[in-house]
Structure 1
Amino acid sequence: MSSSESRTTFLTCLLWRRNKVSSLLGLILISFITLSSCTEDKWTVDVSEMTLPTDFSVRNFNWEIQHLSENDSSSLIQLRHNYKLFLTDYCEDILKIGSSQSIETIDKLNEFVAHPDTRETLLAIDSTSGDPEFLRGVSLDLENGFKRLHVFMPNVKIPEVIWMNSGFNFAVYPRDEFVAVGLEWFLGPEHPILKLLPPDRFPKYQQLRMHPDLMAADAMKGWMLVHFINRGYTGEKCVDDILYWGKVLWLLGKCMPEQFEHVLMDWTPEDLEWAKANERAIWLELQPANVLFETNRTVFHRWLTDGPFTKFGSIPQESPDRLGVWMGLRIVKNFMDQNPETSAEQLFSETDYIPFLKSYRPER
């Protein structure tokens, strides 16, 4: 139960037991309800009539590279003009086919598109995550999410969204200027093409997350993690990473209120229920000083990395992975519930972990 629910329940029981309502208690109750409503309204944004300072840009690079002219340097020049930094990243880091400035790049891009494996993947994309109607829905979800972010943090520059085929290298490739989404990562966990992927690189738990319903939240989350990294994040201790993840997921939930908590976590509903039912036990594993303030990243990343379960201490294999991320969300939620005057800017600027830890109490 949250602090606001506890106070409301306490006042209600007190009034019932006395069988009368004094004018003072009545005013307190009314004031409390009004304050709670105002606090909630602070994070409730009607985006239906709202516009961003600049047009929200979504481009389909996946479509464009399928329609390049062969041996035509003008096509590459046009791509460089249109996509600038992203084309450099796509050629040199995502596909690793060489410099985006090389005239040979146009041939290598065409070779990539013409490869039988790529052709099969493109056909799969066209009927699932790359379907135009589906992409319109995801684009709208992202636009509305960034509209809310603009209200919460007006100085944040909204990125461009780019659809791509990364060759199963990156589900989300974020920079401050853009967030590129690998459509092939969201075909659906039961798609036949996933059975052709090497299981050592794409284990079952990862394939289960290749669901189109996760695409919008994953894209915005990936961009937030990169964009806010220089705002109060030190990364020296386990608690630093846990709270940073918690801040990002808490804000993501406010920007995308229509998304369920398990979607924000890339979990199943059952994963979330397990975490909630075992929150106190998880906290008992995490709270010792030698765990919470661990500086060995190899050790504390067990709380944060993808896997079949969270591999730490006595946490059982029935657990979902990344329980440290979820605990970060729980801690930040407690802090924000108890400090409703705190803005999103202040949340990310706060570097002291003590106020967060003091505010947290496990529910179960």
Structure 2
Amino acid sequence: MKTKSPIFLFFIIFLFFSCNFNKRTDIDVSDVKIKDVKIKRYGKDLFEINPDNIKNELKRLAKNYKYFLDADLDDTLNIIQIHEYITDPKLIEIYNKSIKKYPELNNLEDDLTLAFKYYKYYFPDKKIPEVFTYISGLQYEYPVQYFDNILIIALDLYLGKDYIPYRQIGLPAYKIKRMEEEYIENDCMKEIAEVNFLQQEPKRTFLDEIIKKGKVLYFLDAVIPQTPDTVKIGFTSNQLQWCSDNEANIWKFLINNNILFSADYQVIKKFTLDGPFTAAFSKESPARIGNWLGWQIVRAYMNKNKDVTLNELMLETDAQKILTKSKYKPKK
């Protein structure tokens, strides 16, 4: 009889734990009925109008894009501003690059349709948003916006890490690496989670903040289960591995330095805001280590408390309760 290799045994163990973790979010949504997502391309329709007949063209577009064209289109100043926008050479160049990168959006429509099926499964009372795309002019603060059940995607903020203008406007490399097509669906669902569930949550302590971030990441586990963890949190595979390898050290550092219950925002932001790495650790570490740790705590909480629904998790504001009932123990 052949002896199984250590590598084979490791694979079996890894597969077992992976399946154990995923089974709460391994849901069949084939019977969930929603309308297929059809994205309305405001940016494309706007840049393709005839500038010489702009007033009439805008009034025609306004019927389908009232959220974008709600200004008085009989006001000359408004018309002039839009005319300057669609005839600006730099914006035309950005639009042309966007339309070349995304001549059609069938794959994104399919991805969002599936994500919204999961969303509807967990939150049957929630409405599925209308989805629009536009050209932001590289206004990088808002790649995705969600309000009034409208989801708006700035396609020019997903042109790929090699798009030179991103560097020319001073965006850091750690941000540019996430301006890829594979992040669009993730960013859409993340924005929905943050707007629907987290806007009213109090900001008190480090623990409150990382649990809040962890809930959003677990929400992504549930509604886009096929998406890699690297995309959900925006880490490289090496950074994600670093976190896993150093989980016990991270936890020990936070406890020994009295950070877990700190209400000092200057301390909190060092472990929760974006950046190249976490200064308290090595340059191999990612930024937002606290968010990753909160994710692990929330995952443990949901695995230990099978009766808690995703909706109940998202509405739970007692971070201490989540930590206690998670029985979280960092991997050594």
After TM superposition, the score normalised by the length of structure 2 is 0.84
- Quick one: distance in 2 between partners of 1:114 and 1:287? 56
Which residue matches 1:241? 209
Shift of 1:40: 6.3
Aligned partner of 1:306 in structure 2 is: 274
Backbone CA RMSD of aligned residues: 2.5
Tell me what 1:179 maps to.
Answer: 151
Structure 2 unmatched runs, 5+ = 1-15
**Within 2, Cα distance between the matches of 1:107 and 1:141?**
38
Q: Residues 119-139 of structure 1: CA distance to partner in whole angstroms, max 9, x if unpaired? A: 2212221222x231xx21112
Match of 2:301 in 1: 335
- Pick from 35, 39, 42 the counterpart of residue 58 of structure 1: 39
Which residue of the other structure, out of 207, 225, 228, is the alignment partner of 2:197?
A: 228
**Residue 107 of structure 1 aligns with which residue?**
80
Residue of structure 1 aligned with 2:129, choices 141, 159, 169: 159
| Contact map agreement 1:62 1:165 (CA 8 A) in 2 | yes
| AA aligned opposite 1:194 | Y
How far off is 1:57 after superposition? 4.4
Q: Deviations over 1:286-314 (max 9, x none)?
A: 34584222323343122221111123xx3
Moved more, 254-263 or 316-325: 316-325
What does the per-residue CA deviation read over 1:71-103, in whole Å, with 9 as the maximum and x for residues that have no partner?
543433344442333445xxxxxxxxxx56644
Structure 2 CA distance for partners of 1:157 and 1:297, relative to 1, 3 Å: farther
* Contact kept in structure 2, 1:174 and 1:222, CA below 8 Å: yes
Which has the higher Rg, Structure 1 or Structure 2?
1
Alignment of 1:208-219 (within 5 A): 208-219=177-188
1:145 corresponds to which residue? 115
Name the SS of the counterpart of 2:211 in structure 1: helix
Alignment of 1:1-364 (within 5 A): 43-52=25-34, 56-70=37-51, 71-87=53-69, 102-128=75-101, 130-132=102-104, 135-169=105-139, 170-195=142-167, 197-199=168-170, 202-230=171-199, 233-287=201-255, 290-311=258-279, 314-358=280-324, 359=326, 360-364=328-332
The 2-side partners of 1:105 and 1:77 are apart by 12
Using the TM superposition, give the Cα deviation of residue 194 of structure 1 relative to its aligned residue in structure 2, in angstroms.
3.3
- Tell me the distance in 2 between the aligned counterparts of 1:278 and 1:296: 24
Percent identity between matched residues is: 28
Query: 1: distance between equivalents of 2:29 and 2:78?
Result: 42
Q: Return the letter of the residue paired with 2:156.
A: E
5+ unaligned residues in a row in structure 1: which ranges?
A: 1-32, 89-98
C-alpha distance in 2, partners of 1:234/1:77? Answer: 43
